[in-house]
Structure 1
């Protein structure tokens, strides 16, 4: 078997300045949804070890799993939150551990909208809300009806609360937990993406109808965070081509992704030219299906994103699924402002930066463990040359007990 190429001589392993921070390489750990928190949404020692291991001998950027900005943002059991002092202080321990390894870290801020679990919301006394009362599939509707927590549209007052919740989440993350950046999750048909996408937003007020109106909430969140913590500490994730959770994608009969999203990228670039340039824009490529391993086809050109946004660009989407990393090498060497983000292979290769630099074989991930609650498949992966601890091994069981 031919070994993968060593990437030490590519731009991937050159320093790059992001905001006011200089990263030692251009590799990012993309946000990965996980459920390893406590029942009251507090980060755990399991998570501390996970991020700390991936920060060792790295020097790039880790982006956390998507984190609820408030209970009203939507809840998944054992997901993370950054709303209370206890939650923020637990995250601070993780941030301090990552910084001690010489690596930077961003928190992705999350608001679910119609992607939330209606039953879990009901158990916490939270209504099930979205831009419009449009379920994205029959299963979510069934859960909502059976939970007596049916979907309804955000009121204008509740829309304004979304902005406040993102703002407070950013303040908690930067000023209490000590994160280097916060990343606004405006991708994959969660709340902000639901407002942008014409498939999920049928409002007739100032937040619906035109492209400008549907993008308004996302830009208001961006501006609120710029004011609260500074543009150089704010990033945003956007997924123009995603069909995940009912997104329009490129095959939309109503509106093409370029039409829907070029305005958002343009407005972010305008802010940059006016002295409020975000630390980065994190853009999801068109080729990778969310929630699966298959590469989408056909692959659509996203060159238009680079032509509009002139700041630091993080690109994510199936980069390590080619054995020769051809697309990764091409994209990271295109200019001097691109960072490559990886998620799946970062779960099974805690020393991913080292392996990519030296051309070492990668360990295949195990999708079945992504959303479980234990240690197996989370902290049981070995560095290169080490065996992963099997689910039934003594080492894995002892480690799970010590970190639970």
Structure 2
């Protein structure tokens, strides 16, 4: 049997195959009013087409735990019941067609309140549906971004509670996997890295202090998320600063160390990406360039991992799993190009994937 099409069981949940869709922001929700952050027809079409294409697990785009936690005013959120009800339409379709629905919950921190990327992605002010970002320290992401307000200890606790509330709503919305977004220079990742965390209290300085917020969020989510359902965590394995000889950084060694702690705190799989916390660093991209990070975490901790980053061909994905470098692959841009990638992979690898009866004549 193809490794790519073997079912994957985490806790009591079995995912049909190991071709998973990575979270990718669509910047297509209403920015304000009663429909702010609510998934609409675009989101329904976007996610359900990949389910019809045979994808085993679909993770939504970064879905904010609060209005101020959005990357842009046009992002999805899960801070109210209107959003929950709209998500049910999507999760119901995914389950009906054999795809596991997952949600990534996050807070953008100092990188919040920006425009859509195809309009330049510049920070937005209050007159453009924007707001003042917050972060672990008053340090801007780059020269374009405003200096964020430094979070107080009380505000940190409040945001931790917002993650737990988001997980409760995710369950009510029909999701079966929840992923905490700790990558790409957003709030949790900002706390992890000494590049962006300059605090001198219990949330800054040492590795133990910088990882405190992440672990408190994991504990809060795990407490409300059902014991039988899996919890994922997305990490940037490196800031790429150390590799560029450019100062203090979150490193792969740190990621392995944190992965051991996440496993102890009830995380079932680490989604291993990289970068996003430091502007203007050189990232040596290429096919599967982040896979070695995932492979190292898996080998040294025993924690299941998903690999992501320029995985485009079925044989490439099959090799990653067959060689034991990861437990699943997450496709991003390749699934934007081809919603039916899983079907193509099944044909090329001589495997089988579920086909909606409406498409049976073409199977």
TM-score range, shorter chain: 0.7 to 0.9
Q: Label 1:255 to 1:45 Cα distance change in 2 as closer, same or farther (>3 A).
A: closer
Post-superposition offset of 1:311:
3.4
Q: For 1:330 and 1:178, how far apart are their aligned partners in 2? A: 33
1:76 aligns with 2:72: yes
Segments of structure 1 that go 5 or more residues without pairing to the other structure are 1-8, 142-149, 361-382, 387-404
Could you report, residue by residue, the CA deviation over 1:38-59 in whole angstroms, capped at 9, with x for unpaired residues?
2312110121111111111525
Match of 2:58 among 56, 62, 65: 62
Post-superposition offset of 1:334:
2.6
Q: For 1:125 and 1:347, how far apart are their aligned partners in 2? A: 28
Larger Rg: 1
Matched with 1:201 is 197
Matched with 2:297 is 305
The within-5 A match list for 1:2-401 is 9-39=1-31, 40-58=36-54, 60-117=56-113, 120=124, 122-123=126-127, 126-141=131-146, 150-174=147-171, 176-230=172-226, 232-243=229-240, 248=241, 250-251=243-244, 252-255=246-249, 257-271=251-265, 276=266, 278-284=267-273, 295=285, 301-302=292-293, 303-320=295-312, 325-326=315-316, 328-335=317-324, 338-359=327-348
Q: For 1:234 and 1:325, how far apart are their aligned partners in 2? A: 28
TM-score, normalising length from structure 1? 0.75
8 Å CA contact 2:191, 2:197 repeated in 1: yes
Post-superposition offset of 1:152:
1.8
8 Å CA contact 2:73, 2:130 repeated in 1: no
Q: Label 1:188 to 1:279 Cα distance change in 2 as closer, same or farther (>3 A).
A: same
Equivalenced residue count is: 331
Q: Label 1:169 to 1:257 Cα distance change in 2 as closer, same or farther (>3 A).
A: same
Q: Secondary structure at the match of 1:66?
A: strand
Matched with 1:379 is none
Q: For 1:264 and 1:68, how far apart are their aligned partners in 2? A: 23
Q: Label 1:296 to 1:204 Cα distance change in 2 as closer, same or farther (>3 A).
A: farther
Q: For 2:193 and 2:283, how far apart are their aligned partners in 1? A: 25
Q: For 2:287 and 2:14, how far apart are their aligned partners in 1? A: 36
Segments of structure 2 that go 5 or more residues without pairing to the other structure are 115-122, 350-358
Q: For 1:84 and 1:37, how far apart are their aligned partners in 2? A: 14
Q: For 1:201 and 1:87, how far apart are their aligned partners in 2? A: 32
TM-score, normalising length from structure 2? 0.83
Post-superposition offset of 1:190:
0.2
Q: For 2:308 and 2:47, how far apart are their aligned partners in 1? A: 19
Could you report, residue by residue, the CA deviation over 1:84-129 in whole angstroms, capped at 9, with x for unpaired residues?
1101111111111111111101100020111012764635685321
